[in-house]
Amino acid sequence: MPTLSLKPLPGYKPYPGPLVTIIMDGVGLGKRDESDGVFLAYKPVLDALFKEKLFTKLKAHGKAVGLPSDDDMGNSEVGHNALGAGRVFAQGAKLVNEAIASGKIFEGKAWKSVMERAQSGKAVHFIGLLSDGNVHSHVEQLYALLERCAKEGVRKVRVHPLLDGRDVGEKSALDYVVPLEDRLAAYTQDGRDYRVASGGGRMVTTMDRYGANWGVVEKGWRAHVLGMARQFKSASEAVRAYYAEDPKVTDQYMDSFVVAENGEPVGPIEDGDAVVFFNFRGDRAIEISRAFEEPDFKEFDRERLPDVFFAGMMEYDGDAKIPKYYLVEPPAIDRTLGQYLCAAGVSSFACAETQKFGHVTYFWNGNNSGYLDAKLEKYVEVPSDRVPFDQRPWMKAGEVTDELLSAIASGERKFIRANFANGDMVGHTGNLPAVRIAVESVDLALSRLVPAIEKAKGVLMVTADHGNADKMFEEKNGKRTPFVAHTLNPVPFIVKDFSGANRWELSGVQGPGLSHVAATLCALLGFAAPEGYDPAILRLV
């Protein structure tokens, strides 16, 4: 860790209790109408906090979190990066777009190694999320890679699309699958053979994270690598068949499939092939990368491990070096808040359930795994349920709260942070009654935490990383359709100081965003913001 230091904040008076920061994942500030699951929820504690003097709204999407444009929804990865970094870094989508536009992506060793496999007559496989949600991937980036393959004379390409229905419309798969099939068909000429080979919904095929359910990755492995799943003549036929068989099925939960001819899969991954996982976001890319790269892999029986060259769109874990090869360099996030606080000797505690544990640790710490200083930090992961989130919308909010109450009561940790996953994970289901319960579960957690923080004479900060539960449906041409993606709405920012040691006021920062939170946390802990950090939202009176 680099040598860093923080300067004392003039006029600041220490207080005995902890600074507790609560990140309500996916809880934005919406229209306050019947489409707004946050507004509809019974949440007396949050409603009272929204009336606090130290309340404002933060930008949590677009350029404010390093994405290409303000039309781009925020997400938990970039949101927690911004919260922990204190300034805005160009993020996945923007970095990839810039690398494609400049051609730099095709000049690196990874792409050249992919082309070496292709030039020896082997197939190039692309696996990833097929949508323009711009959270994990973007279809135009895939198209750019396909175009380059054709330009460089690659003869055999296989695409393994994962269906979204989460960051885009819940039943929009054909809007992406059909154009992809048409594009691949257009390339299939002059000796080229470009096809879709396998796929499935992202929540059941390949894109697990944090070890929550390795069965999801195994299902993807069997489809993509072994060619073992239900067979169809095309991906579009698979989608239409699944829609017809179960009108309630949505894209993200659609079963896996394999495209086959005469009973034989058209594109299992074989020895000598090249494989590119084209998602730029890391959390749901790490496990499939491990499956391809680890010789002593033990999470499930791979049955066979083909000798392939595997590359990610980006490096998904900088500490663990996953994957070994990648097309685009990740953002170099340095001088994080966590590094400064460790250097200053501030003890800390971080907690979340599995679905968001990496966000309050890995992403918060600038895409770095593990402890920054194990003597000063303690991280606690509460295992998530392995059921659809709308079936248990309370998730593990109670257990996370128990851990926080224990940390507060111990008096050993000055800075405590936690993520409540409910608003985001349940928000993605589009189940409005469940979303209301999810938000109410977070409010119930706050009702337990507030008295404990008050008793300890501490400070409470409440915010969110992006919106989701604040928009459950949209109306077009008089018809309501579920809205299951993140929103472009601002998120709340509240500070409630129970210590009485200092007097704070809003600093008047214009258009504050998530990146302004780190400097604010510094101030609440008695430090001036590090040089280059976006200014604090509060100031001493």
Active site residues: 76
Rounded Cα distance, 145 and 187, in Å: 13
Cβ atoms 154, 192 nearer than 8 A: yes
CA 219, CA 127: separation in Å to the nearest integer? Answer: 14
Q: DSSP per residue over 477-515, as a string?
A: TTEEEE--S-BS--EEEEEEE-S-S--EEE---SS-BGG
Q: Which helix or strand (DSSP H or E) is residue 110 part of?
A: helix 109-119
CB 386 within 8 A of CB 374: no
Identify the DSSP state of 271.
T
- Length of the chain (residues): 541
Q: What are the residue ranges of helices labelled H in 301-366?
A: 337-343, 354-358
Read off the amino acid at residue 514: L
135 backbone φψ class: left, alpha, beta (φ>0; ψ -120 to 50): alpha
Residue 74 CA to residue 62 CA, distance in Å, equals 6
SS (H, E, C) 152-210: CCCCEEEEEEEECCCCCCCCCHHHHHHHHHHHHHHHCCCCCEEEECEEEECCCCCCCCC
| Integer angstrom CA distances of residue 192 from 183, 240, 371, 477 | 13, 27, 49, 43
Distance of CA 328 to the CA centre of its chain: 18
Residue 124's DSSP bridge partners are: 157, 274
Please tell me the number of Cα atoms within 13 Å of 339 on its side-chain side: 18
Q: Which two tokens stand for residue 346?
A: 């501030």
Strands 198-201 and 156-163: parallel
Q: Which residues contact 452 (CB under 8 A, 6 or more apart)?
A: 404, 405, 408, 409
